[in-house]
A and B are shown apart, each in its own frame.
Chain A
Amino acid sequence: MPTTPSAHNPEGSPVPDAESAGTGGTALLGRKAAKIDRLAELMGPRDEGTHGAGIWRTAFSRLRRSPMAITGAIIVAGFVVVALFAPLLAPYAPTAQTWGDEVFPNQNIFVGPRAENWLGLDNLGRDQFSRMVIGARQTLLVGVVATLVGFGVGALLGGTAGAAATLGGRWGRTIDNAIMRVIDMMLALPTLLLAVTVAALIGPSLTTVMLAVGIAQVPIFARLLRGAMISQGNRDYVLAARALGVRKHKIALTHILPNSLGPVIVQSTLTLATAIIDAAALSYLGLGNPDPSFPEWGTMLADAQRFLSSAPQLAVYPALAIIVTALGFTLLGEAMREALDPKLRK
Chain B
Amino acid sequence: MGSSTPLLAVEELSVVFGGRGSDEVRAVDGVSFTLEEGKVTGLVGESGCGKSVTSLALMGLLPPRGVRVGGSALLNLPEGEVDLLKLSPKRMRDLRGSRLAMIFQDPLSSLNPVVPIGRQVTEILNRHRGMRGSAAEKEAADLLQRVGIPDPERRLKEYPHQLSGGMRQRALIAMAVACRPRVMIADEPTTALDVTIQAQILELLKDLVTEEGTALLMITHDLGVVAGLCDDINVLYAGRAVETAPRAPLFAGPTHPYTVGLLGSIPRLDAPRGEPLTPIRGSVNDNIAWHDGCAFAPRCDHYTLECLEGPPALVHTDDGVHAYRCVNPVRHADVADRAVLESPSVVGDEEESA
* Chain A residues close to B by CB (< 8 Å): 1-4, 6-10, 15-16, 18, 20-26, 28-29, 32-33, 36-37, 39-40, 51-52, 54-55, 169-170, 235-237, 239-247, 250, 254-255, 258-259
Question: Known: A29-B211, A236-B109. Is A245-B97 also a contact (CB below 8 A)?
Answer: yes
Residue from A23, A24, A39, A242 within 8 A of B150 (CB atoms): A39
Question: Known: A52-B162, A237-B110. Is A243-B97 also a contact (CB below 8 A)?
Answer: yes
- Distance of A15 Cα from B211 Cα, bound (Å): 21
- Distance of A311 Cα from B251 Cα, bound (Å): 95
B residues within 8 A CB of A18?
145-146
Contact across chains for A258 and B161 when beta carbons are under 8 A apart: no
Nearest chain A residue, comparing its CB with the CB of B98: A245
Contact across chains for A250 and B123 when beta carbons are under 8 A apart: yes
Contact across chains for A2 and B200 when beta carbons are under 8 A apart: yes
Nearest chain A residue, comparing its CB with the CB of B158: A52
Say yes or no for B335: interface residue by CB 8 A criterion. Answer: no
Contact across chains for B110 and A22 when beta carbons are under 8 A apart: no
Contact across chains for A2 and B204 when beta carbons are under 8 A apart: yes
- Distance of A95 Cα from B83 Cα, bound (Å): 79
The 10 closest A-B pairs by CB, nearest first: A245-B97, A40-B150, A245-B96, A244-B97, A2-B200, A21-B142, A236-B109, A2-B148, A243-B102, A240-B110
Contact across chains for A22 and B61 when beta carbons are under 8 A apart: no
B99-117: contact bitstring with A at CB < 8 Å (1 yes, 0 no)?
Answer: 0011010100111111100
CB distance from A265 to the nearest CB of B (A): 13
B residues within 8 A CB of A2?
148, 170, 200-201, 203-204
Total B residues in contact with A, Cβ cutoff 8 Å: 60
Residue from B113, B153, B164, B207 within 8 A of A259 (CB atoms): B113
- Distance of A4 Cα from B178 Cα, bound (Å): 21
Question: Known: A4-B166, A245-B128. Is A21-B146 also a contact (CB below 8 A)?
Answer: yes
Contact across chains for A236 and B164 when beta carbons are under 8 A apart: no
Contact across chains for B145 and A24 when beta carbons are under 8 A apart: no
Contact across chains for A243 and B145 when beta carbons are under 8 A apart: no
Contact across chains for A25 and B164 when beta carbons are under 8 A apart: no
14 A-B contact pairs sorted by A residue (CB < 8 Å): A1-B200, A2-B200, A7-B154, A21-B142, A28-B207, A32-B148, A33-B146, A236-B104, A239-B61, A240-B104, A244-B97, A244-B102, A245-B124, A247-B127
Say yes or no for B71: interface residue by CB 8 A criterion. Answer: no
CB distance from A208 to the nearest CB of B (A): 38
- Distance of A39 Cα from B118 Cα, bound (Å): 23
Q: Contacts A32-B148, A240-B111 given; 13 further ones with Cβ under 8 A? A: A2-B201, A3-B150, A4-B197, A15-B151, A16-B142, A18-B146, A23-B142, A39-B150, A237-B110, A240-B175, A243-B59, A245-B128, A259-B113
Nearest chain B residue, comparing its CB with the CB of A243: B102
Question: Known: A2-B203, A52-B159. Is A15-B145 also a contact (CB below 8 A)?
Answer: yes
A residues within 8 A CB of B89?
169
A residues within 8 A CB of B149?
4, 7
B residues within 8 A CB of A246?
97, 123-124, 127
- Distance of A26 Cα from B180 Cα, bound (Å): 16
B residues within 8 A CB of A242?
61, 96
Say yes or no for B35: interface residue by CB 8 A criterion. Answer: no
A residues within 8 A CB of B115?
254-255, 258
- Distance of A272 Cα from B143 Cα, bound (Å): 47
Nearest chain B residue, comparing its CB with the CB of A232: B112
Contact across chains for A1 and B350 when beta carbons are under 8 A apart: yes
CB distance from A259 to the nearest CB of B (A): 6
- Distance of A36 Cα from B204 Cα, bound (Å): 13
Say yes or no for B167: interface residue by CB 8 A criterion. Answer: yes
- Distance of A6 Cα from B154 Cα, bound (Å): 12
- Distance of A40 Cα from B152 Cα, bound (Å): 11
Say yes or no for B93: interface residue by CB 8 A criterion. Answer: yes
Contact across chains for B114 and A258 when beta carbons are under 8 A apart: yes
CB distance from B298 to the nearest CB of A (A): 33
Nearest chain B residue, comparing its CB with the CB of A257: B114
CB distance from B284 to the nearest CB of A (A): 23
Q: Which of B183-220 contact A (CB under 8 A)?
A: 197, 200-201, 203-204, 207, 211-212
Say yes or no for B270: interface residue by CB 8 A criterion. Answer: no
Contact across chains for B148 and A245 when beta carbons are under 8 A apart: no
Contact across chains for B106 and A236 when beta carbons are under 8 A apart: yes
- Distance of A15 Cα from B64 Cα, bound (Å): 45
- Distance of A55 Cα from B161 Cα, bound (Å): 10
Say yes or no for B85: interface residue by CB 8 A criterion. Answer: no
B residues within 8 A CB of A32?
148, 351
CB distance from A148 to the nearest CB of B (A): 23
Contact across chains for B95 and A245 when beta carbons are under 8 A apart: yes
B residues within 8 A CB of A20?
142
B residues within 8 A CB of A33?
145-146
- Distance of A238 Cα from B212 Cα, bound (Å): 27
Residue from A4, A7, A247 within 8 A of B93 (CB atoms): A247
- Distance of A29 Cα from B98 Cα, bound (Å): 23
Residue from B94, B154, B159, B180 within 8 A of A10 (CB atoms): B154
B131-167: contact bitstring with A at CB < 8 Å (1 yes, 0 no)?
Answer: 0000000000011011011111111000101101011
Question: Known: A4-B167, A15-B145, A237-B112. Is A243-B104 also a contact (CB below 8 A)?
Answer: yes
- Distance of A20 Cα from B152 Cα, bound (Å): 14
Nearest chain A residue, comparing its CB with the CB of B197: A4
Nearest chain A residue, comparing its CB with the CB of B178: A244
Contact across chains for A244 and B167 when beta carbons are under 8 A apart: no
B residues within 8 A CB of A3?
148, 150
Say yes or no for B176: interface residue by CB 8 A criterion. Answer: yes
Contact across chains for B159 and A245 when beta carbons are under 8 A apart: no
Say yes or no for B119: interface residue by CB 8 A criterion. Answer: yes
B residues within 8 A CB of A250?
123, 127
Say yes or no for B172: interface residue by CB 8 A criterion. Answer: yes
- Distance of A259 Cα from B160 Cα, bound (Å): 13
A residues within 8 A CB of B106?
236
- Distance of A60 Cα from B352 Cα, bound (Å): 51
A residues within 8 A CB of B161?
52, 54
Contact across chains for B94 and A245 when beta carbons are under 8 A apart: yes
- Distance of A193 Cα from B48 Cα, bound (Å): 53
Contact across chains for A259 and B112 when beta carbons are under 8 A apart: yes
Nearest chain B residue, comparing its CB with the CB of A25: B146
Nearest chain B residue, comparing its CB with the CB of A173: B65
